[in-house]
Amino acid sequence: MATTPAPAQDRSTVRTLLRLWPYVRPVRVRLFTAAIVAILASCVGLVIPLVLKWMVDGPIADREPGGVWLGALYLLLLGFAEALLFGMRRWLVARPLSHVEASMRAALYRHLQRLPVAFHDRWASGQLLSRGTTDLMLLRMFLAFPLTFLLVNGVTILVGVVIMLLQDWTLGLVILGPAVPVMVTCVIFEKRYAKVARLAQDQVGDLTTVVEESVLGIRIIKGFGRHRSQARAFRELSGTLRGTELRKARLLAAIWGVIVTLPEVAIGAALVVGVVQVADGGLSAGDAGGVPVHGAGVAVAGGVDRVPARDEPGGGDGDGAVFRGDGRGGGGAGGCR
């Protein structure tokens, strides 16, 4: 076996995700069906502002209480349908993706059993434990939520923008104004957050190594009087990990501040412009209220879509040393993915 590690290859995000296809293929029908159901649920949510517009411009403007009750019934049915569809999406993916996680964990265990003893001498056991438990759980969560909603939110944004522009293109452009600065901010944020998330991933593995080795060798540690040094090492590693997690929290707080503030300012500006147009007689009250409501839905979908899921395994450098078996040590750039 070669003593020098193989150079890491640069993999695109698409190529990295395609490596999961052999595990996802058995449940592909339910996964795709869940995505379609989620798209339908999202589109049902976009119909609600149209019903509100009809109520404002129709029964409320004409002072017809019966029409208001009918509109309220429509809203209730739409809300019930949206909740039912989202519940069905969860039911479709919950059990199959648990099987996907189990199959990935079994494949990782089989591969580890085939690797030479020299590999396990180089790799910290805590890193392997962290990769085989936490990372695979995050992969399952990524398949269940972020991967699905990348498609769902893309459709929501597209349909919502079209509806806004058809209702009133001036208000639609006002709401779409912050799109470019939000996207630029998210690109800059993603690069910074990726490094911190990868560092936290490695630090969790290092901390797991200390805990596992302390538990397995507790008699030896106490026999040689090393319990205080092990406790000190645990405190130092846990303190370092805490600092890294706080950096992640600060980065998330900053990006969510931008994602929430800029669209809300645009929606407020659209309301002001809409009120002025309604006062001048150039716009109905229903359109003035419906466009900002659609803008709020698009802003939420766009914010969730742009915040990267960088906590999933494979968020940093390296090429998956365990699956290549090249014996690279844990805690550095080459992770076990």
Q: What is the DSSP letter of 307?
A: S
* pLDDT tens across the length of the chain (337 residues): 333 444 445 566 778 778 888 888 888 888 889 889 988 988 888 888 888 888 887 887 777 777 788 888 988 999 899 899 988 988 888 888 888 888 888 888 888 888 887 877 777 666 777 677 777 888 888 888 777 888 888 888 888 888 888 877 887 788 777 778 888 888 888 888 888 888 888 888 788 777 877 776 767 666 666 677 778 888 888 888 899 899 989 988 888 888 888 888 888 888 888 888 778 777 777 777 777 776 776 666 655 544 444 444 434 333 333 333 333 333 333 333 3
Tokens in use for 122?
């180089």
Confidence (pLDDT) at 131: 72
> Could you tell me the sign of the dihedral formed by the alpha carbons of 197, 199, 201, 204, in that order?
negative
Max distance between CA atoms of the chain, in angstroms, equals 88
Q: What is the DSSP letter of 20?
A: T
Q: How many CB atoms lie within 10 A of CB 16?
A: 16
Q: Are 67 and 15 in contact (CB under 8 A)?
A: no
Confidence (pLDDT) at 125: 67
Distances (CA, A) of 201 to 12, 16, 174, 178, 246: 20, 18, 41, 33, 14
Residue 9 lies in a domain: no
Q: Are 323 and 123 in contact (CB under 8 A)?
A: no
Confidence (pLDDT) at 301: 61
Which long-range contacts (C-beta less than 8 Å, at least 24 apart) are formed by 209-212?
209/124, 209/125, 209/126, 209/127, 209/129, 209/330, 210/126, 210/234, 210/237, 211/126, 212/125, 212/126, 212/129
Residue 85 lies in a domain: yes
Confidence (pLDDT) at 302: 56
Residue 283 lies in a domain: yes
Q: How many CB atoms lie within 10 A of CB 313?
A: 21
Count of domains observed in the chain: 1
Residue 256 lies in a domain: yes
Confidence (pLDDT) at 77: 93
Residue 49 lies in a domain: yes
Residue 295 lies in a domain: yes
CA atoms of 244 and 248, how far apart (whole Å): 6
| 3-state secondary structure at position 303 | helix
CA atoms of 304 and 146, how far apart (whole Å): 9
Confidence (pLDDT) at 76: 92
Confidence (pLDDT) at 294: 67
The DSSP code sequence of 109-142 is HHHHHHS-HHHHHHS-HHHHHHIIIIIHHHHHHH
**Alpha helices of 177-226 — where are they, by DSSP H?**
179-216, 218-223
Task: Provide the domain limits for residue 143.
Answer: 25-324
Distance from CA of residue 191 to its chain's centroid?
Answer: 15
Q: What is the CATH number of the domain that holds 231?
A: 1.20.1560.10
CA atoms of 304 and 124, how far apart (whole Å): 35
**Alpha helices of 217-226 — where are they, by DSSP H?**
218-223
Residues with Cβ within 8 Å of 108's Cβ and at least 6 positions away in sequence, in order, are 131, 132, 136, 322
Confidence (pLDDT) at 304: 52
Residue 267 lies in a domain: yes
Picking from 274, 204, 299, the residue whose alpha carbon sits closest to that of residue 242 is 204
Residue 14 lies in a domain: no
